[in-house]
């Protein structure tokens, strides 16, 4: 018997594969498609802090958008297109129809009054909240302690407004990475590693900065495996792996490193929802071949604590490589 069911933030999942926040989780129909394909849960498309603030305080939002830069125009346009109320309806309808856990997602960078929206998310029936905290430490005048404090303030403020489990989707631009991740894991139920940015790509003909595209490659998953593997022994809560998981082998690798679940997006765009079905089949087959009955039988087996050569997560790998001994 092979059982791929698992738990994530106290929720029961039929599979460790979650449809990550994307267009594929932006309508009830699509959420139902994800459930049908075998997703263990979905993270809904994010609602932005700015959208929530707009509903709470129209006057202030007008002030926010008084000076019309391109970026603000975009936010203003986007905000009109995606009403916050319809987000709550999406939670309600998805919960009613999909039959799998529904994780709401908020893209945020402050602990402004939007945090009270967590109450509405809870009332609408979401099973958990994922905070996509987007604070790029790009200000040379702000030190890492101040950036870290902002993260902690956001989580504290949201937690005061909800009893739902909270996952933190973060990037990897931190000093004292392991220490900060462990601190964050102590005030939340899960860490989602890592958020993927829309990287710039300079066009040398038009001399403009363009978006480098939003889809990942499997090579990008190495960074995720490293940090899941390193953090697993130190994080009591859950870890979700995301970025560059495109197939069943990718799922197995991240579970072995120590992830409780994986989140996928790019593969949905490239290969459709059935990619989740294929990943589930691969996972079952791999477990059968290796005689594992439950996910917990092998989850974290190759984490920093479990691997017999954990140095490969660290510097030893580079020494080997640069001395010509590595592949
Ligand atoms: C087109 C697109 C839209 C996305 N929208 C969101 C979003 O609204 N909120 C969010 O937290 N992540 C968003 N993501 C990030 C994904 O949830 C995921 O974390 C990331 O793409 C890495 O997974 P992948 O390598 O499977 O694509 C988006 C990704 C893509 C490709």
What pLDDT is recorded for position 213? 80
What pLDDT is recorded for position 6? 98
Residue ranges and CATH numbers for the domains of the chain are 6-322 (3.20.20.70)
Q: Taking residues 168-195, what's their average pLDDT?
A: 95
What pLDDT is recorded for position 310? 74
What pLDDT is recorded for position 304? 86
CA–CA separation, 247 and 245 (whole Å): 6
What pLDDT is recorded for position 68? 47
Instruction: Say whether pLDDT at 96 is over 90.
Output: yes
Show the ligand 1 pocket: residues with CB < 6 angstroms. 20-23, 45-46, 105, 107, 132, 169, 196, 214-216, 242-245, 263-267
How far lies 31's CA from each of 94, 129, 156, in Å?
7, 16, 29
CA 71 to chain centre: 24
What pLDDT is recorded for position 133? 93
- Asked if omega into 194 is within 30° of 0 (cis), the reply is yes
> How much distance in Å is there from the Cα of 132 to the middle of ligand 1?
10
CA–CA separation, 72 and 56 (whole Å): 18
CA–CA separation, 162 and 205 (whole Å): 50
Work out the mean pLDDT of the chain and round it to a whole number: 90
Q: Is 213 helix (H, G, I), strand (E, B) or coil?
A: coil
Instruction: Say whether pLDDT at 79 is over 60.
Output: no
Q: Using CA positions, which residue lies closest to atom 3 of ligand 1?
A: 22
Instruction: Say whether pLDDT at 307 is over 70.
Output: yes
Better pLDDT: 241 or 85: 241
Confidence of residue 7 (pLDDT cuts 50, 70, 90): very high
Closest approach atom of ligand 1 to CA 267: 26
Confidence of residue 52 (pLDDT cuts 50, 70, 90): confident
Percent of the chain exceeding pLDDT 90 equals 74
Q: Taking residues 176-184, what's their average pLDDT?
A: 96
CA–CA separation, 203 and 212 (whole Å): 10
Q: Which of 17, 21, 222, 225 to mutate to test the pocket of ligand 1 (most atoms within 8 A of CB)?
A: 21
Closest approach atom of ligand 1 to CA 246: 26
Percent of the chain exceeding pLDDT 70 equals 88
> How much distance in Å is there from the Cα of 271 to the middle of ligand 1?
15
What pLDDT is recorded for position 235? 96
Contact 190, 180 (CB under 8 A): no
Confidence of residue 78 (pLDDT cuts 50, 70, 90): low
Contact 164, 131 (CB under 8 A): no
């Amino acid at each position: 018997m092979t059982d791929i069911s698992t738990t994530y933030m106290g929720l029961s999942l039929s599979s460790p594969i979650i449809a990550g926040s994307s267009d594929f989780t932006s309508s009830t129909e699509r959420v139902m498609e994800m459930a049908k394909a075998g997703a263990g849960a979905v993270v809904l498309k994010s609602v932005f802090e700015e959208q929530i603030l707009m509903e709470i305080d129209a006057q202030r939002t007008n002030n926010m958008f008084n000076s019309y830069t391109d970026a603000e125009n975009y936010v203003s346009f986007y905000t009109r297109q995606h009403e916050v109320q319809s987000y709550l309806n999406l939670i309600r309808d998805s919960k009613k129809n999909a039959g799998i856990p529904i994780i709401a997602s908020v893209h945020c960078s402050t602990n402004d009054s939007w945090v009270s929206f967590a109450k509405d998310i809870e009332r609408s029936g979401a099973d958990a909240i994922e905070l996509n905290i987007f604070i790029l430490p790009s200000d040379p005048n702000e030190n890492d302690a101040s950036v870290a404090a902002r993260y902690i303030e956001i989580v504290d403020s949201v937690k005061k407004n909800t009893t739902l489990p909270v996952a933190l989707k973060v990037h990897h631009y931190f000093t004292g990475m392991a220490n900060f991740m462990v601190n964050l894991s102590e005030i939340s139920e899960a860490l989602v590693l890592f958020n993927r940015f829309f990287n710039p790509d300079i066009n040398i003909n038009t001399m403009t900065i363009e978006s480098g595209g939003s889809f990942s490659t499997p090579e990008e998953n190495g960074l995720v495996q490293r940090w899941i593997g390193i953090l697993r022994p130190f994080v009591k809560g859950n870890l979700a792996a995301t970025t560059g998981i495109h197939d069943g082998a990718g799922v197995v690798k991240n579970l072995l490193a120590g992830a409780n679940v994986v989140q996928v997006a790019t593969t949905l765009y490239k290969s459709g929802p059935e990619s989740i079905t294929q990943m589930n089949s691969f996972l079952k087959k791999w477990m059968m071949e290796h005689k594992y009955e439950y996910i917990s039988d092998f989850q974290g087996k190759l984490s920093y604590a479990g691997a017999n050569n954990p140095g490969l997560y660290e510097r030893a790998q580079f020494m080997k490589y640069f001395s010509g001994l590595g592949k």
